Amino acid sequence: MKVAIVGATGLVGRKIAEILQERSFPVTELIPVASKNSAGQIIKWKEREFPVVTLEKALEMNPEIAFFSAGAKVSSEWAPKFAHIGCRVIDNSSYWRTTPSVKLIVPEVNGHTLKESDMIIANPNCSTIQMVVALNLLHKELRLKKIIVSTYQSVTGSGQKGVAQLNQEREAEIQGNFNSELQQKAYNWPIDLNVIPQIDTFLENGYTKEEMKMVNETHKIFSDNSIAVTATTVRVPVKGGHSESINVQFHKNFTIEEIISILHRTPGTTIINNKQDPPYPMPLYAFERDHVFIGRVREDLFCSNSVNMWVVADNLRKGAATNAIQIAEQFLKNL
């Protein structure tokens, strides 16, 4: 099986290559793809060397599966070209997520809906993925009424530029050179020793694109537009792992013991209780792990049928690369 990784030199692309090997995905030939500037670079994988090729060259090589992680512009132009030659495209950009004919897939939640005819499949936003995994079984058994979510998103969500800015600011702080001009800049404001309550651009309604992604993607994944979703997305000076504070209201009554029981049965999750060490999940705890970790579960004291929880996941793995590979695995299972 020929497998292409479009955006192979980026953070998510490199993670996809790593996890393909970890999960023993049946790759016979890896096709790393990047811009013309990166063509010819060597990607080492399974003790073999593969040269980075252009999109044009990758198309000629006829891959069976292509993981796209090179931005919306590339996906909009090239995903249909790959699909046209019979290559199944799993796209990590935002471009196809709201297209009605393209499925938005989190395997634990709606992987069963995939069909052989689905040639372009959208990978959801990282923050949406971990939230819907955590709420999946709760929604099936108690039915979601309202979600209020605040995110604490790491700089790796901004790619290599985000990591570079944080590293450079910390280095400048150590050296006492606070006025140094950053070589790369992902954010308009300092990120070290700071939090930025803006991810992506603002829309006319006062929300950011990232916040509205969580609203629209949750509706599409759960196939339920009646769920009231409101989000505040925040960038924090953490190098890996997104955290979310979630308040959820349900249509049905529950006991907190029932909530805990349902969460323990939810696929893809691990529950952390206050008797464990550490007593709650943190980004460092979730680093390089594929599960969605849930802790601080407690009943809302002032709102009926409501519960609070703290949800953490590695955004480069379950929030991006692992979820994409699980989609491909689901196809192999269904065929």
Instruction: Give the whole-angstrom CA distance, residue 198 versus residue 156.
Output: 15
Q: Please indicate whether residue 242 is annotated as part of the active site.
A: yes
d(Cα 207, Cα 234) in Å, to the nearest integer? 12
Residue 268's CB is within 10 A of a number of other CB atoms, namely 21
Q: Would you call 25 exposed, middle or buried from its count of C-beta atoms within 10 A (0-12, 13-18, 19+)? A: middle
Q: What are the CA-CA distances from residue 176 to residues 50, 249, 311 (Å)? A: 43, 48, 36
Instruction: Say if CB 258 and CB 332 are below 8 A apart.
Output: no
Place of tokens 């809302």: 300
Rounded-to-integer distance, Cα 144 and Cα 151, Å: 19
Q: Which of 87, 112, 139, 242 is catalytic?
A: 242
User: What is the rounded distance in angstroms from the CA atom of residue 130 to the CA atom of residue 313?
Assistant: 6
| 87, 126, 139, 291: the active-site residue | 126
Q: Report how far residue 111's alpha carbon sits from residue 260's, in angstroms, rounded to the nearest whole number.
A: 24
Alpha carbons 183 and 289: distance in angstroms, whole number = 31
Separation in Å, CA 54 to CA 27, 60, 73, 81, 324: 20, 10, 15, 14, 21
Label each residue of 196-252 as H, E or C: ECCCCCECCCCCEHHHHHHHHHHHHHHCCCCCEEEEEEEECCCCCCEEEEEEEEECC
Active site residue 87: no
Amino acid at 154: S
Rounded Cα–Cα distance for residues 195 and 191 (Å): 6
- Catalytic residue set: 126, 242
